[in-house]
């Protein structure tokens, strides 16, 4: 996994630099408690307001709070038997384009390993990818979901329906009763097949990133827009911040991990966001159409 | 308390409308599960980007998660003896001015009551007020703290030093190792004196709001500023959002309360905020001077 995320990161950066015309800033960092990472950020580019492609390979002992969280997910961990050495290797991507018609994308895939006191090893893969538009283009949602479904179907026909549903449930703002975006796939604790088979699936998903997103960006990046569309995008960015700071488990795990690199965790936040009291889009407006889909997630591919 | 917060809200709105020249939007709401409130918001005013003065009088049964949180604060509550009927009356204020030289203020005072299964009643007061500048004016911090200290000293000389320290500890962004602002006072679970005495202290603190803040606003609201100052203010607004969504107990309690009015809870968020990757102010700049104080809280009054 370590080698794969490094190769994938390089490939994605190269392609996105071609799209934007600007270069990523590359920061290599080490975690004093063990581990390293490479954070690549393109900020205030031509097409992207902020795009981050991070990889991290971290090891250490699981903090108590993380053990509790994992226990609640049926991991066989007894806090009194700790500390548990862990290893995690993953890639995280968030890209926020300038153009309000171009959607934000998020991807994260990670491999997690915990050494049990009795010498056995727990391991699993988790992650997914989801799309967050400010304006709904059905063809974009369909293209995105179809690309992910094709990747899933190559490995197990049950994956896409299960992980699509999981994504709708996970990227959900309970306090707003709305989804973050038009979804995608999400899963965690995936260990139901031999490790090599799941790893092959993860690579398929990682490889699907560019084909799932770049065609959409090419279509939307030069569309004309005005103040009104920018304003709505900023309000939607506010919701993105709410999800990441209140609900996202990855962010929470990051904030709990001693010595975590906060600037890498927060690269997922947009450059700018907005909150207005009691803002409500006009009935049947394009803004209202998006809200309709966020309140009632759709099936985008048959 | 119910009557007091209503009077205080009216008084503050009247005065702030005089400062800004614009009117607050007033929303009365009812909570289906029990309770009511009045949310007053001034958005995109002349002086204030967003100013909210909310009161709420809510009753119902304590959600399990809230009981757990209160137990950890030494309240004698056994979740298996629940449900516990509760009553809370409070006032919350947040004001974000346009001018980067004018600080954001926050105030919250609340009375909490829980009926125990054995017929006894738990009650306490909590709250405080704190100041969050983007640029440090020592005289403003001193004026603010002095006004609060005077209010405290009229009731108990031990209050100010204790509650000043509590404020520094509470309004702290652990993930950034920095304070939210220059502090003020904060306390919770205050029940160590007869109820009437503490209530008199709370009223003193509420009455101190206008004299603690309005002179500062009058001094700063018309100061000339440029792009650079606005940019820094927006980054500091990002930190304000981080504190409120990640750490603030009041926001968490609100999000946990079934039927809570989300628009009233989130009036505390600024109109706009900004996140930049790896932003660091220049050494010895005015921005860096503020950071110095946020990393090392000072005593503002002897």
Q: What whole-number distance in Å separates Cα of residue B21 and Cα of residue B15?
A: 10
**pLDDT band per the 50, 70, 90 thresholds, residue B239:** very high
Q: Is the pLDDT of residue A251 over 80?
A: yes
pLDDT digits (tens, 9 = 90+) for A104-131: 999 999 999 998 877 888 999 999 999 9
What local confidence, expressed as pLDDT, does residue A31 receive? 87
Q: In residues, how long is chain A?
A: 302
- The arithmetic mean of pLDDT across residues A202-207, rounded, is 98
Is A273's CB within 8 Å of B242's CB?
no
Is B271's CB within 8 Å of A273's CB?
no
pLDDT digits (tens, 9 = 90+) for A155-203: 999 999 999 999 999 999 999 999 999 999 999 999 999 999 999 999 9
Q: What whole-number distance in Å separates Cα of residue A170 and Cα of residue A166?
A: 6
3-class SS of residue A269: coil
Is B41's CB within 8 Å of A238's CB?
no
Per CB-CB distance under 8 Å, the chain A contacts of B270 are: 275
CATH superfamily of B2-135+192-280: Coproporphyrinogen III oxidase, aerobic (3.40.1500.10)
What local confidence, expressed as pLDDT, does residue A153 receive? 98
Residue A44 host element (H or E): none
Q: What whole-number distance in Å separates Cα of residue B214 and Cα of residue B207?
A: 12
**pLDDT band per the 50, 70, 90 thresholds, residue B61:** confident
Alpha helices (runs of H) in chain A, residue ranges in sequence order: 2-20, 64-71, 138-153, 159-170, 195-207, 209-220, 227-242, 249-256, 262-265, 286-295
Which residues have CB under 8 Å from A21's CB, separation 6+? A45, A46, A47
What local confidence, expressed as pLDDT, does residue A117 receive? 77
Q: What whole-number distance in Å separates Cα of residue B269 and Cα of residue B254?
A: 14
Tokens describing residue A12 = 């994605």
**pLDDT band per the 50, 70, 90 thresholds, residue B259:** confident
pLDDT digits (tens, 9 = 90+) for B269-289: 999 999 999 999 999 999 999
- The arithmetic mean of pLDDT across residues B230-246, rounded, is 97
Q: Is the pLDDT of residue A235 over 90?
A: yes
What local confidence, expressed as pLDDT, does residue A111 receive? 96
Neighbours of A2 (CB within 10 A): 12
The catalytically annotated residue of B59, B98, B106, B145 is: B106
What local confidence, expressed as pLDDT, does residue A79 receive? 72
Q: Is the pLDDT of residue A257 over 90?
A: no
Residue A107: C-alpha distances to residues A53, A94, A144, A167 (Å): 9, 7, 12, 12
- The arithmetic mean of pLDDT across residues A257-281, rounded, is 92
Is A277's CB within 8 Å of B176's CB?
no
Q: Backbone phi, then psi, for B266, in 5-degree steps?
A: -85, 5
Per CB-CB distance under 8 Å, the chain B contacts of A271 are: 274-276
- The arithmetic mean of pLDDT across residues B200-204, rounded, is 98
pLDDT digits (tens, 9 = 90+) for B146-198: 999 999 999 999 999 999 999 999 999 999 999 999 999 999 999 999 999 99
- The string of DSSP letters for chain B reads -HHHHHHHHHHHHHHHHHHHSSPPEEEEEE-TTSEEEEEEEEES-SSEEEEEEEEEEEEEE--HHHHHHHHTTT----GGG-PPEEEEEEEEEEEEESSTTSPEEEEEEEEEEEE-TTS-EEEEEEEEEEEE-SS--HHHHHHHHHHHHHHHHTT-TTHHHHHHHHHHHHSEETTTTEESSSEEEEEEEE-SS-HHHHHHHHHHHHHTHHHHHHHHHHHHTT----HHHHHHHHHHHHHHHHIIIII-HHHHHHHHSTT--HHHHGGGS-SEEE--TT--PPTTSHHHHHHHHHHS------
Q: Is the peptide bond before B83 cis (omega within 30 degrees of 0)?
A: yes
Instruction: Measure CB to CB from residue B262 to each of A176, A269, A274 and give the nearest one.
Output: A176
Q: Is the pLDDT of residue B47 over 80?
A: yes
The catalytically annotated residue of A59, A96, A98, A106 is: A106
Tokens describing residue B267 = 């009036």
- The arithmetic mean of pLDDT across residues B49-57, rounded, is 96
Contact (Cβ atoms closer than 8 angstroms) between residue A291 and residue A277: no
Contact (Cβ atoms closer than 8 angstroms) between residue B109 and residue B8: no
Active site (annotated) includes residue A106: yes
ipTM: 0.93
What local confidence, expressed as pLDDT, does residue B119 receive? 80
């Amino acid at each position: 996994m370590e080698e794969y995320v490094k190769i994938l990161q390089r490939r994605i950066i190269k392609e996105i630099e071609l799209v934007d015309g600007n270069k990523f800033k590359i920061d290599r960092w080490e975690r004093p408690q063990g581990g390293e990472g490479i954070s690549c950020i393109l900020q205030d580019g031509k097409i992207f307001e902020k795009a981050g492609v991070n990889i991290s390979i971290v090891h250490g002992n699981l903090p108590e709070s993380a053990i509790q969280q994992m226990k609640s997910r049926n991991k066989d961990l007894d806090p009194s038997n700790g500390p548990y050495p862990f290893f995690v290797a993953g890639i995280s991507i968030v890209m926020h384009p300038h153009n309000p018609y171009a959607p934000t994308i998020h991807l994260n895939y990670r491999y997690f390993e915990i050494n049990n006191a009795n010498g056995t090893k727990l391991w699993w893969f988790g992650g997914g990818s989801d799309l967050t538009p400010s304006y709904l283009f059905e063809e974009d949602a369909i293209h995105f979901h179809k690309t992910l479904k094709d990747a899933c179907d190559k490995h197990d026909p049950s994956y896409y329906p299960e992980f699509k549903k999981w994504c709708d449930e996970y990227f959900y703002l309970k306090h707003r009763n709305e989804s973050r975006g038009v979804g995608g796939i999400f899963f965690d604790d995936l260990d139901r097949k031999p490790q090599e088979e799941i790893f092959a699936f993860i690579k398929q998903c990682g490889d699907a990133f560019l084909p799932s997103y770049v065609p959409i960006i090419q279509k939307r990046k030069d569309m004309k827009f005005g103040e009104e569309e920018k304003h709505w995008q900023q309000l939607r960015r506010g919701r993105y911040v709410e999800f990441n700071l209140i609900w996202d488990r990855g962010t929470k795990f990051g904030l709990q991990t001693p010595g975590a690199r906060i600037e890498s965790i927060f690269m997922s936040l947009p450059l700018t966001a907005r909150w207005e009291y009691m803002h409500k889009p006009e009935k049947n407006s394009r803004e209202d159409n998006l809200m309709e889909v966020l309140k009632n997630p759709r099936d985008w591919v048959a």
